[in-house]
Amino acid sequence: MELTGRTALITGSAKGLGKMTALTLARMGCDIVLNYVSSEQEAKRLAEDIELLGVKATAIRADIAESSDVERLASEALSWSPNGGVDILVNNAGPFIRERRLFADYDTDDIIGLVNGNLLGVILLDHKLLPGMRLRQWGRIIHFGFGHAGEGRAWPHRAVYATAKTGLVSFTKTLAVEEAGNGITVHMICPGDIKGLNKERSIEEVARERDEESPRGRPGSGEDIARVIAFLCLPQSDYLTGNIVDVTGGFDPIKNNTKRT
């Protein structure tokens, strides 16, 4: 197993894409720190399932949109880690308002929550865990965006979310350059519109289904995302850094959401 002895922290990992990523990294030998806000039972059950794979796992409640929670999550993860550090950080958690809404119609709390959860909290968690990675001269940081985030296009009715994630694009590229000499790689994964239970399904499970909105023709799955993350976390992937990776099957979420209201 390529990542035996490493510790990975995956935010928002009780369910969905975070869960699939946690299971994939566990199968590669990583000890796993799960993170949740309200899905306590799911997180604890997943930790038990992961330990059946022969690695260690724990679940920590923390809201990435709250700076005090970010600090506590980092501290507890480092204290728990069998090797004394967090080698892989996957920043999957991030609030999203599915209702299409003009920027003028957002209230202040929604704006602050979206920016804190999708940008500031991610930056702060990176900042807390970077010193250990630098000390060990090895680290993998993965941020989550959305399809075509790297192009910085207008996304009507998603103004705040899109702003936070496109800001994270610049941070991803900058941090990658700054930390390359320390053996730390930084990437952004940009999933397509992977819906509902498909977030926890394998490629084989969705392969024979049709998705008329997808240029690929089939729905995306959680495995599609987790496989890319796993590849980028490999020791041999150290020459890759600063990439914004669309895993969308060719789907363009912005084009499909710019209808006039």
Question: What residues pair up with 250 in beta bridges, in sequence order?
Answer: none
Q: What is the mean pLDDT of residues 132-143?
A: 98
Question: In this model, does residue 119 exceed pLDDT 60?
Answer: yes
pLDDT in tens, 142-195: 999 999 999 998 999 999 999 999 999 999 999 999 999 999 999 999 998 898
CA nearest 146: which of 132, 133, 160?
Answer: 160
- Whether pLDDT at 24 is above 60: yes
Tell me the pLDDT band of 257, cut-offs 50, 70 and 90: low
181: Cα separation from own chain's centroid:
23
Domains of the chain in sequence order: 7-257 (3.40.50.720)
Tokens of 221: 């799955």
Quote the mean pLDDT of the chain.
94
In angstroms, rounded to a whole number, what is the distance separating the alpha carbons of residues 48 and 10? Answer: 16
DSSP letters spanning 87-130: -EEEE-------S---GGG--HHHHHHHHIIIIIHHHHHHHHHH
pLDDT higher than threshold 90 for residue 23: yes
For the stretch 211-237, pLDDT in tens is: 777 778 788 899 999 999 999 999 999
Rounded Cα distance between 206 and 218, Å, is 7
